[in-house]
Structure 1
Amino acid sequence: MSERSAIVIGGGLIGCCSAYYLAKLGWRVRLLERQRIGAGASHGNCGFVCPSHVMPLAAPGAVTATLRTMLGRDSPIALRLPPSRSLVAWLTRFAGQCNEGAMARSAAGRHALLAASAPLYRQMLEEERIDCQWQDDGLLVVYSSPQKFEAFGPMAALLAEKYGVESAPYPGDNVKVLEPALRAGLAGGWHFRGDSHVRPDRLLAGLKGALARLEVDVSEGVAVQQMVVAGGRLQRLETSQGPLTADACVLATGAEAPAFARPLGCRMPIQPGKGYSLTMPTPAGAPRLPMIFEEHHVAVTPFRDGLRIGSTMEFAGYDRGINQKRLALLLKSAREHLAAPPPDQFDEVWSGWRPMVYDGLPCIDRAPRAANVVVAAGNGMIGLASAPATGKLAAEIVAGLAPHVPAAPYRLARFA
C-alpha cells in the first residue's frame, strides 16, 4: 500500500468515484460521509447516463423563456420568495451566460466529461462486477407542442455535427409506435440512441463494495466541521470524530461545498436546485424507454424492478422539506403523457439538492489557499452522467498526472 494518503469528503457518486480512482492509483484513501453513502442527490435521481445532455441550461433566450414559464401555476421551475442575496447574484450571472459564446464554451466542457464517462462506467462495471441494472435503451425526449418538436431539429443537427450525438425524430404518433406506453396525439419525440440508464441506488451499493475491495476506509456518520489551512496547505480536518490528517484531500460535497470556500480561498457559486422523485412498483403498461417530457422537464425511468418519475427544479435554499405541490406536478405530467396513469402508491418519495453552477460546468481544481485540496463539485443535473470522468480528473489532479480530459473549463479561477 502506498504511503501517500488522501481523504475524500462526500459519499455521493463524485466522492465515491474520486476515492475509487485514487485507490486505483495506489493511494491510501479514507472516504468521509456525514450520513451514509449515496444519501444525497446521488440516490433518488433518474439514473440517466446521457452523453446527449451537452447543452447547459444557460442559452440564448433562456431567461425570457424561464420567466414566462415561472408565471404559470404548474411551472417546472419554482423560486422561493424573497430570494437570498446569493441566489440573486447567481441568477444575474446565469443571465450573463445566455449567449452563443458562453453556451458553446460550456457545451464543450460538458461534452468532454460526458463523452469520457460512458466508457469509464462500462470499464468500472465490468472490472468490479457491479450490477446496477444498466440498460442501453437510449433516451426519448417527448414533446406535446408540434412547434417545439420541430424547433428542436436544428439543435439535433448541431449535436450530431459538432459532438457526435445522434438522435432520430419520431413525429406524431410514430413516437407511440416506438414507445406504446405514450398516449396518442402527442407531437413526437427525439430518440437519443447513445444514452443509457442505471438504477442509482444499485450503482452506489456496487461502488461501495468496490471501494471496500480496494481497501478504502469508508467512514459513514462522520461530519467535517472545519478545514484548518495554514502555509498554503490543509493541515488537518476537524471532524465529529476528532482531527484527521492526510497528504491530500478531495472536497466532493455537492451543493454544500460552498460552506468550505472561505478557508480554501475560492468562490464556488453553487446553488441547491432541489429535485424530486417518486419511485413505485412497475405498473401495468409501464414505459420501456426512459423519457423526458420536455415541456414539463419531467423524467420517467423504467427500472427492472420499478418505475421512477422525477425532476422539476426548486430554488428554495438549503431546505430539506418535501413540497407536495412539486410531487403533484410530477404525477400530473405523467398522466398527461402516458396512456396508463401511474399508481398512487409509492415505494419512496424523495427530494435532493442538485449542485447548480450558473455556467453549467462543475468546479474541478486545486484550491487557491490549499494546494493539497482538490474541489470536485457542482455537476448540476449531470452528476451521475459525469461522475467517473469527474472523479478520475480529481484523482489525476491530486496525483499530479496528465488529465484525461482538458482541465481548463472547470478551473475555479473563472469565478475570481
Structure 2
Amino acid sequence: MIQTSSSVAKAAARGAASPGDHVAVIGGGVIGGMSAWYLARAGYRVTVIERDAFGAACSHGNCGYICPSHILPLCQPGAVTKTMRAMLKPNSPFAVKPRLSKSFVSWFWNFTRSCNERDMMETGRALHGLLQSSLSLYRELVNDDGVDCEWQEHGLLFVHDDANAFQMYAETDRMLREEFGVGATPYDGESALELEPALKPGIAGAWHYEGDCHLRPDKLLEEIRQRLEGMGVEFLESTSVESFEKGGPAGGASRVVAKNGAGERITVDADHFVVATGAMTPFLNEHLGVRIPIEPGKGYSITMTKPGRMPKYPLIFEDSHVAVTPMETGYRIGSTMEFVGYDTSINQKRLGLLTAAAEKHLVDPLGPEVTEEWYGWRPMTWDGRPIIDRSPAHANVWIAAGHSMLGLSMATGTGRLVTEMIGGGETHLDPAPFRVSRFH
C-alpha cells in the first residue's frame, strides 16, 4: 500500500516525520519488519539492514500463534522448582548448559528473583496491553490491507493429560478472567475429543482460548516484504551492523558502520535508527550505552506436509510444552527451550521430543513429508517484558527487542509504538513498562 499525500499530511500532523526523513531499521525479523511497515506508512523513508536474509531468523519457523492468552511470563512463582524437576526427566522440554559468563549468571539470578506474584502481575499487565493492541492491528492487516498470511481465528487449545492439572488450571483461568478479561472454555476429556477429533482418547481435558489466532509466519514476512518494497523501502541483506557514529542532532548517531556479505565496510546515514535485532542485541551493548539482558532461548520446529487427519485447532500439550499448528499449506510441530548460548546445531534428540509428543496425543501425528527442520533463538529477558525505548547513548536510536517467546504476537503493536515514539506525539500504549532503565 503506497502512502498517499493526504495520509502523509495526517501523519505529519500527528508529529511524525516528513517523507524525506530517513529511518534505518536494524534487524529484518518480524519486529523489524512491522516497525518498517508502520514507519513507511507514517511517511518515513526506510532502510532495513539485516545480517542474514529478511525474515530468516526466529521469525521464520515459529508456531505462528497470535496469542493474547499468553499474558503471564515464564517468571512465575514456583517456576524455578518446576523447571529443575522437569530437567531431571530424560524427555524434558527444558535444557540449560551452564556457562561461566557474568551475563549468563546475572540473567538467571535475576530471573529467579522475578519469580514472584508481584513481578509476574506487573509484567502481565504490560504484556496484556501490547498483546491486545497487536491482535487488533493484525486484523487490520488482514481485513483492511489484504495481507495474505494464512490467518485463522479458531482459538488455541491447551491440552492436559493430568486430571489434577486440568482442574487446577481453573484457578489460573479465573485470575486471567478477573484481572484481564481473558478467559477460556473448559472441555473434559470426551468433550475435548468431540471438539477436536484429531486427538487420541485418554486426555484429561482441554482449555479453549477462543480469542487466539494463528498464521504462517514465513508467509507473513514474505508478504510484508513485498508490500514494503512497493512503498519504496530499501533492503540491505547479508549486512551486519558493527557500530554507530555520532554526529546527529543533540549528540545522536549520524550513521551506522556495517560489513556487507563481501566483507566490505559500508556506512548507512539516517536521521533515526531502530535496533530490532532480537537475540543478537547484546552484541551491540557497547554502542547502545546499556547492557541489554537478553539470553538466547533456543526453540525448534518441524514443518511437514499435511497429515491425513490434521487438527482444526492449534494445540499446546501442557505436559510436554509442545505445540502443533495446522496451516493452510502445511503442518508444524514446535517448541522446547534450550539455554545453550548461540549454538547453531540442530539437536536431533530435541526434534524427537516434538514428534514423540505428537505421536502420544494425535491420531495422525505426522505428515508424509518433512519440508524443514528448524531452530531459532528467542530473545529472552529475565522479566518477560520487551524493551521498547530510546538508547541511553544516542537520542535518535531506539531499541525494540527482547520479546521472549511472543515476538510474533506483539510485533504489530511494537511497530506502531516505535513509530509513535519516534514521531514524538501521543502513543496508543504507555511505553513506561518497556523502558530499558528498569534493568539498572
- Could you state the TM-score of these two structures normalised by the residue count of structure 1? 0.97
Q: What SS does structure 2 have at the residue aligned with 1:137?
A: coil
Match of 1:244 in 2: 268
Match of 2:380 in 1: 356
Q: Quote the Cα distance in structure 1 between the aligned partners of 2:382 and 2:99.
A: 19
Q: What SS does structure 2 have at the residue aligned with 1:319?
A: coil
Q: Point out where structure 2 has 5 or more consecutive residues left out of the alignment.
A: 1-17, 261-265
How many residue pairs get matched?
416
Q: Quote the Cα distance in structure 2 between the aligned partners of 1:266 and 1:183.
A: 50
Alignment of 1:374-413 (within 5 A): 374-413=398-437
Q: Point out where structure 1 has 5 or more consecutive residues left out of the alignment.
A: none
Q: Quote the Cα distance in structure 2 between the aligned partners of 1:343 and 1:48.
A: 20
Alignment of 1:5-404 (within 5 A): 5-82=22-99, 84-229=101-246, 232-241=251-260, 242-343=266-367, 345-404=369-428
Q: CA deviation at 1:82?
A: 4.0
Q: Quote the Cα distance in structure 2 between the aligned partners of 1:191 and 1:83.
A: 42
Provide, for residues 250-276 of structure 1, a one-character-per-residue CA deviation record: whole Å limited to 9, x for no partner. Answer: 000000011111222112100000000
Tell me the amino acid that sits aligned with residue 168 of structure 2. Answer: A
Q: CA deviation at 1:71?
A: 1.1
Contact 1:301 1:307 in 2 (8 A): yes
Q: Quote the Cα distance in structure 2 between the aligned partners of 1:316 and 1:393.
A: 32
Contact 2:27 2:50 in 1 (8 A): yes
Q: CA deviation at 1:343?
A: 4.3
- Could you state the TM-score of these two structures normalised by the residue count of structure 2? 0.92
Match of 2:8 in 1: none
Contact 1:13 1:204 in 2 (8 A): yes
Provide, for residues 138-164 of structure 1, a one-character-per-residue CA deviation record: whole Å limited to 9, x for no partner. Answer: 000001111111111011111112212
Provide, for residues 260-313 of structure 1, a one-character-per-residue CA deviation record: whole Å limited to 9, x for no partner. Answer: 112221121000000000000001111111010012110000001211000000
Q: Quote the Cα distance in structure 1 between the aligned partners of 2:179 and 2:253.
A: 41
Q: Quote the Cα distance in structure 2 between the aligned partners of 1:401 and 1:347.
A: 46
Moved over 4 A (4+): none
Provide, for residues 58-115 of structure 1, a one-character-per-residue CA deviation record: whole Å limited to 9, x for no partner. Answer: 0111111111111111110101244643222111101101111100100001101100
Question: Alignment RMSD, CA only?
Answer: 1.3
Q: CA deviation at 1:340?
A: 2.2
Percent identity for Structure 1 against Structure 2: 46
Q: What SS does structure 2 have at the residue aligned with 1:152?
A: helix
Match of 2:5 in 1: none
Distance 1:82 1:265, change over 3 A: closer
Contact 1:48 1:385 in 2 (8 A): yes
Q: Quote the Cα distance in structure 1 between the aligned partners of 2:51 and 2:79.
A: 36
